[in-house]
Amino acid sequence: MNGTAMVGTERAGARLETDRRRLPPEERQQQIVDTAVRFFAEVGLDGKTRELAKRLGVTQSLIFKYFETKQDLIEAVYARVYLERISPDWPALIGDRSRPIGERMSIFYRDYGSRIFDHDWMRIFMFSGLAGAELNKRYLNHLSKTLLEPILEEVRMAAPNTAEPTLEDLWSLHGGIVYLGIRQHIYQMPVPGDPQHEIDRAIARFLRSFDIEGP
């Protein structure tokens, strides 16, 4: 199970797969982080460096050539995993009043779901949250400020002035959607085959309760 690219020199295939492979440092470092993401997502941040090394097919000591401490490796895993979860396009999408709010929310949560309904992300986010990492709070605060609050404003614009939605209402909708991923990847329960359909239903119910047409 060698996942990485073979190096240019192909010498008549006499090389054993268990050979000691010499990778460019940058490539090796990336490989370690890749594997560490999957590894820590499975077993938790208390996963042992020896087992990680076994998955990598290298010795445990090699890991410490690329990361001074285990904590440094974990930080690299955080950095890797927290990228790719937030798109800079979302604020523009949310504020695009040429489209109905239901459509905007549907597209947003379709994209959002495709990024966070991910085994590794879900579990590492939960592990780090339980460990008290500051990253989770920063992430959620950022989410609230740059996405939920703008959505709230747009929903208010679209709603007849009867009863106004609150930010907590949006957190509730958000929680209901995220809970789909929690059921699947944390509790490992079966979930509906088409999450987007459930998400659209949740959005439609939300908007309908404020007399707004859904997606």
Partner DNA sequence: GCATTTAATGATCGTTCGATGAACAAGATC
Partner DNA sequence: GATCTTGTTCATCGAACGATCATTAAATGC
Residues near its own copies (CB under 8 A):
44, 46, 123, 126-127, 129-132, 136-137, 140, 166, 168-169, 171-180, 182-183, 186-189, 192, 198, 201-202, 204-206, 208-210
In the list DNA, its own copies, none, the entry touching 186 (Cβ below 5 to 8 angstroms by class) is its own copies
Residue where the block lists tokens 């690219």: 5
CA 85, CA 81: separation in Å to the nearest integer? 8
Neighbours of 109 (CB within 10 A): 22
- Does position 74 interact with DNA (CB under 7 A)? The reply is no
In the list DNA, its own copies, none, the entry touching 137 (Cβ below 5 to 8 angstroms by class) is its own copies
CA dihedral 92, 98, 104, 108 (to 10 degrees): -20
- Kindly determine how many residues on this chain lie close enough to bind DNA according to the rule CB under 7 A: 27
Residues in the chain: 215
> What one-letter code names the amino acid at 35?
T
- Which three-class secondary structure state does DSSP give residue 40? helix
- Beta carbon nearer to its own copies, 158 or 202: 202
Nearest to 29 by CA among 2, 9, 4, 1: 4
Q: Report 8-27 residues binding DNA (CB under 7 A).
A: 9, 19-25
Which of 2, 42, 48, 166 touches DNA (CB under 7 A)? Answer: 48
- Beta carbon nearer to its own copies, 86 or 182: 182
Which of 37, 58, 133, 147 touches DNA (CB under 7 A)? Answer: 58
- Beta carbon nearer to DNA, 70 or 183: 70
CA 81, CA 34: separation in Å to the nearest integer? 10
In the list its own copies, DNA, none, the entry touching 60 (Cβ below 5 to 8 angstroms by class) is DNA
Residue pair 182/116 in contact by the 8 Å Cβ criterion = no
- Beta carbon nearer to DNA, 72 or 96: 72
3-state helix, strand, coil in the chain (%, to 5): 65, 0, 35
- Does position 49 interact with DNA (CB under 7 A)? The reply is yes
Which of 51, 84, 153, 168 touches DNA (CB under 7 A)? Answer: 51
DSSP 147: I
- Beta carbon nearer to DNA, 75 or 111: 75
Distance, first Cα to last Cα, the chain = 45
In the complex, the residues that contact DNA under the rule CB under 7 A are: 7, 9, 19-25, 28, 47-51, 57-62, 64-65, 68-71
